[in-house]
Amino acid sequence: MGHPFPIREIARQAGLSEATVDRVLNGRGGVRESTAREVRQAIADLDRQRTQVRLVGRTFMVDIVMQAPERFTTAIRAALEAELPSLRPAVLRSRFHFRETGPAGELVRTLDGIARRGSQGVILKAPDVPEVTAAVGRLEAAGVPVVTLVTDLPASARRAYVGIDDRAAGATAAYLMGQWLGERPGNILTSLSSGFFRNEEEREMGFRSAMRARHPERTLVEIAEGQGLDATQYDLVRAALERDPDIRAVYSIGGGNIATLRAFDDLGRDCAVFVAHDLDHDNTRLLREHRLSAVLHHDLRQDVREACHTVMRAHDALPPAGPTLPSAIQVVTPYNMPPQAAV
């Protein structure tokens, strides 16, 4: 396994002991395949970051912990690595802990492991459940500042939340939906990946409140727990369409939009208006193909940069700043896509 990095640096990146890394690199026995994958991933991360980071000054090791579909964590990784040069004069090293789904206990074990091992900060996207909130408290007690990204844990000891005003985003979606549906009849399908993510809950409340005020005649049909994954989303959407022949539009709060549209197609149903969130790879393609009406987007690079700055401020590496303001909500259509949108 060729590489230019000292064993100590690989061990720090992987969160493993130097002895374990040495056994993996030299092909000795007694190491699980999952551990070997962590070492290979650490080397790949170091190699990517080495080509972008040419900074001098203080070094921060930050852990990025996220429960989200791969399309979103890939966008977060790309946003962070694109922002590394802007963090001068600091050097930021990142360890990634990504998973698409799973019990909260596994996420808690990851967070507790970081608390024991040590870190300069944690950037976290996690469900808003008591055990995760408690784990954040243990991290802060261990001197590890936590910043929630995209979705908040407001009852936790986290330092700040970075992201959009999700209730305003949901109300924006309702406004667009009402304008575009006009006088046409039809019910609206609202789709959440999980009821445990605070951002999705806030979006749903904003959407429902605005629709109730402006279009009380519309029926909203909710599905949830598809985890934003196409494999589970398809069955949920198809079942909803089969139960309700009047569904004509979709507000996708949690993703899985390829599967949602496939369910419409397979039943020969038309989706008149489709509003979604985030310009990830899937949504960019669907928007270009005019399968989505609009995407509510926010600048992930700006959000990641602000999260890193918050970690640095927690260590007195940057001067204090005022409260973190919500990110701007961009309404993106096929005709005003940002040039950096995923290909």
What is the radius of gyration, based on Cα positions, of the chain? 21
pLDDT-derived band of residue 44, with 50, 70 and 90 as boundaries? confident
- How far, rounded to the nearest angstrom, does the alpha carbon of residue 64 sit from its chain's CA centroid? 10
Q: Where are the alpha helices (DSSP H) in 62-129?
A: 70-83, 104-117
Class of domain 59-163+300-325: alpha beta
Closest to 190 measured CA to CA, from 162, 161, 210: 210
| Residues whose CB falls within 8 Å of the CB of residue 253, separated by 6 or more in sequence, listed in order | 170, 190, 191, 192, 193, 200, 203, 204, 207, 277
Closest to 239 measured CA to CA, from 211, 219, 259, 216: 259
Measured between alpha carbons, how far is 145 from 248 in angstroms, rounded to an integer? Answer: 45
User: Which pLDDT does position 321 carry in this prediction?
Assistant: 85
User: Which pLDDT does position 340 carry in this prediction?
Assistant: 67
Look up the pTM and report it. 0.80
What is the dotted CATH code of the domain comprising 7-55? Answer: 1.10.260
Measured between alpha carbons, how far is 219 from 246 in angstroms, rounded to an integer? Answer: 9
User: Quick one: tokens of 168?
Assistant: 């305003």
The answer to whether domain 166-297 has CATH 3.40.630.30 is no
Q: Which ranges in the chain are annotated with CATH 1.10.260? A: 7-55
pLDDT of residue 269 exceeding 60, the answer is yes
The string of pLDDT tens digits covering residues 87-139 is 866 788 899 999 998 899 999 999 999 999 999 999 999 999 999 999 999 99
Place of tokens 């090791």: 61
Least confident of 170-174, 178-182, 316-320: 316-320
User: Quick one: tokens of 45?
Assistant: 């991360």
Measured between alpha carbons, how far is 294 from 332 in angstroms, rounded to an integer? Answer: 5
Measured between alpha carbons, how far is 75 from 190 in angstroms, rounded to an integer? Answer: 24
Q: Which ranges in the chain are annotated with CATH 3.40.50.2300? A: 59-163+300-325, 166-297
